[in-house]
Amino acid sequence: MADTTHFYQLFEPEHYNVYLDINRETKKITGKTTIAGEAKAEKISIHQKYMNIESILADGQKVAFTTDDSADAIRIDLGKTGNVTFTIDYTAPLTDSMMGIYPSYYEVNGEKKQLIGTQFETTFARQAFPSIDEPEAKATFDLAIKFDEKPGETIIANMPEVRQEAGVHYFDTTVKMSTYLVAFAFGDMQSKLTTTKSGVKVGVFGTKAHDAKELDFALDIAKRSIEFYEDFYQTPYPLPHSWQLALPDFSAGAMENWGLVTYREAYLLLDPDNTALDTKQLVATVIAHELAHQWFGDLVTMKWWDDLWLNESFANMMEYVAIDAIEPDWHVWEMFQTSDVPAALQRDATDGVQSVHVNVENPAEIDSLFDSAIVYAKGARMLVMVRALLGDDALRAGLKKYFELHQYGNATGADLWSALGTASDLDVGAIMNSWLEQPGYPVVSVSVVDGQLTLSQQQFFVGEGQDTGRQWQIPLNGNYDETPTIMTEKTIKLGNYEDLRQSNGKPFRLNVGNNSHFIVKYDETLLKDIFAYSEMLDAISQLQLLQDFRLLAESGKISYASVVPILTRFANHPSSVVNAALYQVAGNLKKFVTPGSDEETQLQALFNKLSTRQVTRLGWTPKAGESNDDQLTRPYVLNAALYAKNEEAVASAHKLFTANKASLATLPADIRVFVLRNEVKNFGNDQLFDQLVADYRQTPDASYKADIRAALTSTTDDNQIAKIVDNYENADLIKPQDLRAWYRGVLANDKGQQAAWDWIRNDWQWLEDTVGGDMEFATFITVTTAVFHTPERLAEFKAFFEPKLNTPGLTREIKMDIKTIESRVALVEKEKAAVNEAVKKIVSTCNK
């Protein structure tokens, strides 16, 4: 039986002295931790994992203890309660797991080097020092660190270093904080520093494998983000410094350790002279996300992991609020509409999905909470709804209050709703609980029934779903004044449709702005009316039409074939968000065709029709002074033209490759991936393969690396595919942090699918040993699911994963994924003929 008593209930720590001696050569950590606190019971527990505990003193006296590895615990019978100070001596291994204290590996000028960093969220601080490793157990920390130091190396931590004695680095006492936010790092680093208006020191740190200019973009965004938050939250940044550090090995995207945020290199460092706009936007939002946490998450922390959403949903919304404020020309909310929104709508439509708020206890379950589509994307959408309801003034007033009340402490969702509620006259909690506690979301059907404009809500499923009569309080955002702000009933009538249409003078629409988490199904009359006016709709509304059609088609509520003729209507739109939605729908048609078949040729002809005019308009290379929309649209249409095997496009890409053969990295980053992929697919040979592998090894530029990976995994050569798969377990070439992308690349390649699928099944144990227990582990299954759409693969998937259903942290993922593939297979079987017929028809009519 799992023990569900939190250790904090038995012992409340107040202050830690953490001394660590870390040896990179012997991969050993020797530690001494003292914890002063108050025992609430005679028998208490302290977290540890993988440690060899040598001795424990309580107030200077030796005490007996046992270790219980199944509960990550040290059990101590104190025989008394009250204040006590423990001194614990121990050793622990330094492992390559990207959790706890761990090394990152990299090369500078052929020399192999290591940078030591930390990752303590969710439950990995207990691998570094004995602690009450729960978010509620806030305490102050004095860190003292010694390591096998070489000349020129630096060490950084949450707080500034105050002194160095006998090779030991002592850091200033922290403010009260949770264990999962403690961090430090050391090695041979370079940095760039600046200071905010309010005097906070801001720095960006990375290895010396990078060009110094790669630190500039992050430094600017970090500084301006902190200045923005200090103003928006009306609460000062609580620490003397804010360091951003890029680690060469990093499991997640980034981690908001207080005062020392750690990042994947790809999400912090970039070449300011040759990086695609969307990559810059992504990096900026990641930085703004982590810095939003410095208050929301770090200063005020969720009480327990069930309220993880409180941290993540909020930071996920604020990253857009912040970047929209400091870079208004980017229109970064459009990125929200093309990334978070479709991700949330897709995953949340599968029966069995988690709700945003989930009860959890054991560590594997806690890690499985980090479902980016739900806890991040759907949660952010929930908060976007709250923001729209409250307005920014009330939101800011509410947040200021929330920080005042809970700073250096913990809070729950109810605390946030209550702070926001007092700053407005809305019962925010009542509205939000229907979104927070229930999985899924509604489709609102709009129809004219007996002359009455009628709205009705029902849970929306893609694939089989059990309708349990769930209802939501839906912010409708209708464009007729007669629409209520919130729909609380199952069905409502707005009045006589003809009269309403006349008095409003425009087609009826719901969810204007696409900021509420529901989709709309209009009846034929209303839809015709909208289409007649669709030219006048803004880009987001057009994206929304395409998005809702796609989802309704995937659910079988409308026929997939009926969506095909709509596509050409949007093909020449100048907006990148419309193109994003268009090519998402078009890309989904690929599952209906067999590779190499006549149907595929027809589909390629459709892609050609959709993209030709835009390719001509935009050309292959970015033009000086062109709009952001043009920059962001070009990749969609070039990708389409290459899928279509458009001869001119293939030749243009080949020409660009030939002209830049000696310095491929300098190809414009926006289109580089297409040039490389085109070359590998259509003009590939072993020499090119080896050249790209060598470049991959050598370049420090993460976005160039990603382009090479995408190109290499698209090869049609069996030997090259075998070579790639053979290197999956070679960390010198493919870092564990990048393995999933390499696996997905080959799996999504028709010619490589079998090899990748065989590999993951044969070497599952190796994978589990290498990246299991990591919060990203389950996503190896998710990416597999995203590719499969045939009955054969479904059967193989079930045969392999069903026996693993009881693996902690994987149960929900496997169940949902089986459902997802099942529904996709059924959809393809049912609609294949009609969809392909519709494609053929469109292609032939367009040709006339």
Shortest Å distance, C-beta 347 to Zn ion: 18
Number of residues that bind Zn ion (CB under 5 A): 2
Nearby residues of 450 by Cβ (< 8 Å), 6 or more positions away: none
- For residue 252, CA distances in Å to 122, 525, 774 come to 12, 47, 9
φ, ψ of residue 812 in degrees (nearest 5): -65, -45
Nearest residue to Zn ion, by Cβ distance, number only: 315
Cβ proximity to Zn ion: between 16 and 263 the closer is 263
Among residues 375 and 825, whose Cβ is nearest to Zn ion? Answer: 375
Strand extents, DSSP E, 172-267: 184-187, 189-195, 201-207, 241-247, 254-255, 260-264
- Identify whether the C-beta of residue 343 lies closer than 8 Å to the C-beta of residue 313: no
- Shortest distance (Å) from residue 287 CB to Zn ion: 12
Burial of 595 (0-12, 13-18, 19+ CB in 10 A): exposed
**Is residue 322 within 8 Å of 225, Cβ to Cβ?**
yes
Query: By C-beta, is 315 or 589 nearer to Zn ion?
Result: 315
Label residue 111 exposed, middle or buried (CB < 10 Å: 0-12, 13-18, 19+). exposed
Which residue's CB is nearer to Zn ion, number 214 or number 256?
256
How far is the C-alpha of 424 from the C-alpha of 393, rounded, in Å? Answer: 9
Rounded distance between C-alpha atoms, residue 22 and residue 24, angstroms: 6
For Zn ion, the binding residues in 226-265 under the rule CB under 5 A are: none
The CB-of-180 to Zn ion minimum distance in angstroms stands at 12
Q: Which of 80, 35, 28 is nearest to 56 (CA)?
A: 35
Catalytic center residues:
290
- What part of residues 541-570 is at the interface with Zn ion (CB under 5 A)? none
Q: Contact at 8 Å (CB) between 78 and 39?
A: yes
Q: Judge residue 628's burial from the number of C-beta atoms within 10 Å of its C-beta, 0-12 exposed, 13-18 middle, 19 or more buried.
A: middle
Asked if the bond preceding 122 is cis, omega within 30° of 0, the reply is yes
Name the percent of the chain in helix, strand, coil, to the closest 5: 50, 20, 30
Q: What is the DSSP letter of 177?
A: B
- Please identify, using beta-carbon distances, which residue of 312 and 599 lies nearer to Zn ion: 312
651-656 LR contacts (CB < 8 Å, sep 24+):
652/620, 653/620, 653/678, 653/679, 654/678, 654/679, 654/682, 654/683, 656/620, 656/621
Beta strands 300-302; 409-411: pairing state: parallel
Residue among 381 and 509 whose Cβ is closer to Zn ion: 381
Contact positions with Zn ion (CB under 5 A) in 290-319: 312, 315
Q: Which residue has the tokens 């270790």?
A: 67
Residue 288 vs 537, nearer CB to Zn ion: 288
Specify which residues 170 forms β-bridges with: 144, 163
Least distance from Zn ion to the Cβ atom of residue 255, Å: 8
Query: In the complex with Zn ion, which residue's Cβ is closer, 312 or 679?
Result: 312
3-state secondary structure 127-149: HCCCECCCCCCCEEEEEEEEECC
* Phi, psi angle pair for 456, to nearest 5°: -145, 135
List beta partners, residue 113.
Answer: 106
Distance of closest approach, residue 332 Cβ to Zn ion, in angstroms = 17
- Could you tell me which of 436, 380, 431, 424 has the C-alpha nearest to residue 398? 424
Strand partners, 62: 57
Contacts of 772 (CB under 8 A, 6+ apart): none
CB of 753 to Zn ion, least distance (A): 33
Closest CB 315 distance from Zn ion, rounded Å: 4
Minimum CB distance to Zn ion, residue 256 (Å):
6
Report in angstroms how near the CB of residue 99 gets to Zn ion at its nearest: 17
> 607 in helix, strand or coil?
helix
Q: CB under 8 Å to 198, separation ≥6 — which residues?
A: 227, 230, 236, 237
Kindly report the backbone phi and psi dihedral angles of residue 294, in degrees, each rounded to the nearest multiple of 5, phi listed first.
-60, -30
Which residues within the stretch 133-162 sit at the binding site for Zn ion (CB under 5 A)?
A: none
* C-beta of residue 101 within 8 angstroms of C-beta of residue 146: no
Nearest residue (CB) to Zn ion, 307 versus 351: 307
The answer to whether 820 touches 785, Cβ cutoff 8 Å, is: yes
Say if residues 441 and 472 touch (Cβ distance below 8 Å). Answer: yes
Which CB, 314 or 742, lies closer to Zn ion? 314
Q: How far is the CB of 216 from Zn ion (least distance, A)?
A: 24
Residue 129 or 370 with smaller CB distance to Zn ion: 370
- Closest contact distance (angstroms) between CB of 840 and Zn ion is 46
Shortest Å distance, C-beta 477 to Zn ion: 27
Considering beta carbons, is residue 380 or 448 the nearer one to Zn ion?
380
Q: Rounded CA gap, 138 and 37, in Å?
A: 11
Task: Identify each DSSP E strand in 341-433 by its residue range.
Answer: 409-411
Q: Taking CB under 5 A as the criterion, which residues in 310-369 touch Zn ion?
A: 312, 315
In the numeric block, which tokens belong to residue 201? 């020191």
Residue number with CB closer to Zn ion (315 or 567):
315
Q: How far is the CB of 359 from Zn ion (least distance, A)?
A: 20
- The residues binding Zn ion (CB under 5 A) are 312, 315
